[in-house]
Amino acid sequence: LNVNAAAAANILRGNDNFLILTHKKPDGDTLGCAAALCLGLRAIGKTAFVLENPETTPRYAPMVAPLYADGNFKPQTVVAVDCASRDILPANAQNFAVDLALDHHPTNTHYAKLSVVAPEEAACASVVAAVLRKLKVAVTPEIATALYVAVSTDTGCFSYDNTNAAAFALAAQCAKDGADITAINREIFRVKTRARIALEGAILGGIEFAFDGRAAIAVITRELILSCGAVEDDLENIAAIPVSIEGVVAAFTIRELEDEPGKFKISVRSAPGFSSSEFAQKFGGGGHAGASGFSKTASVETIKTIILQALTEYFA
């Protein structure tokens, strides 16, 4: 059942003992939304916790880890943020029935009893901020910071195609509410580790082009990651690199998974006119028009061949 932000706020107000779920491979939007919603619910007197997400990286851990539920917490109301489907929930979240989903993915499967799905929003942060406004939460600098992390990361610091007036307006409000935007911008968008610099250099040198430069393929093996001394945080948004090159319409980053050697995640990024989600759906994946992904257990060469074959019909 679809509801709007006001109805969602009413439902939250009438319930208590909240557990907030985030998605696998958690990004700034799901974790920032979880932190903001949890702190907001606490601010109006509710008991609220975030379910531990085992894949949370050190970058975001300080924001959410202090809000994690311990094993004894018995939730009455379960809310998922930025989660498009049940199978994107981490293993430890699979047994919970989800009461409310706050999301912005057009592909949301309505796995929750109630859903606020706003595909027009750049980030789920705008949905959470709207709910917090309806709840009349006094936004603290900590809440504003979590919302700013969410909206800024999901828009690539306001540079991606999903950036819109609402995203800027939310950022302006976060800044007014005391979010430490300077520290976040510096840490997430500007400062690069030496490992990241080495990795970017290697990727830039190894990109392969096809179809007159309209397609680009980057490969990131475990060997490369280890040789650069890179960790998970160093890989964030690395798939944005090949699609940033002039003339590239469809870009693919083939990245070997840490926990499953020989299995690769293929991130698809595209310019308008090429649907990343349609492409990924052919291989059992999904996502947005401009950003999607799928997985494949095969050799890098085989994956490249599969991609190039599937591209032939687009670029014929």
Of 79-87, 135-143, 201-209, 291-299, which segment contacts a second copy by CB under 8 A? 201-209
The verdict on 206 binding a second copy (CB under 8 A) reads: no
Query: Residue from 3, 6, 114, 157 that binds a second copy (CB under 8 A)?
Result: 157
- CB of residue 161 to a second copy, shortest distance in Å: 5
Q: With helix as H, strand as E and coil as C, how does 36-105 read?
A: HHHHHHHHCCCCEEECCCCCCCCCCHHHHHHHECCCCCCCCEEEEECCCCHHHCCHHHCCCCCCEEEECC
Q: Which amino acid is at 32?
A: G
Residue 163 near a second copy by CB under 8 A: yes
CA distance 33 to 151: 9
Distance between CA atoms of residues 262 and 297, nearest Å: 6
The closest alpha carbon to 122, from 294, 252, 291, belongs to 291
Q: In this chain, which of 4, 55, 87, 172 binds a second copy, going by CB under 8 A?
A: 172
Q: Least distance from C-beta 268 to a second copy, angstroms?
A: 16
Number of residues binding to a second copy, judged by CB under 8 A: 39
> According to CB under 8 A, which one of 61, 204, 226, 257 is a site residue for a second copy?
204
Map the footprint of a second copy across residues 58-97, applying CB under 8 A.
Answer: none
140 Cβ neighbours under 8 A, 6+ residues apart: 39, 43, 177, 178
Mask for 234-273, x = binds a second copy (CB under 8 A): ------x--xxxx------------------------x--
Least CB distance to a second copy at residue 248 (A): 8
The CA distance from 72 to 36, in Å, is: 23
Stretch that binds a second copy, among 13-21, 79-87, 102-110, 187-195 (CB under 8 A): 187-195
What is the C-alpha to C-alpha distance for residues 210 and 298, in angstroms, rounded to an integer? 21
Q: Would you tell me which residues interact with a second copy (CB under 8 A)?
A: 152, 156-161, 163-166, 168-169, 171-173, 175-176, 181-182, 185-186, 189-194, 197, 200-201, 204-205, 240, 243-246, 271
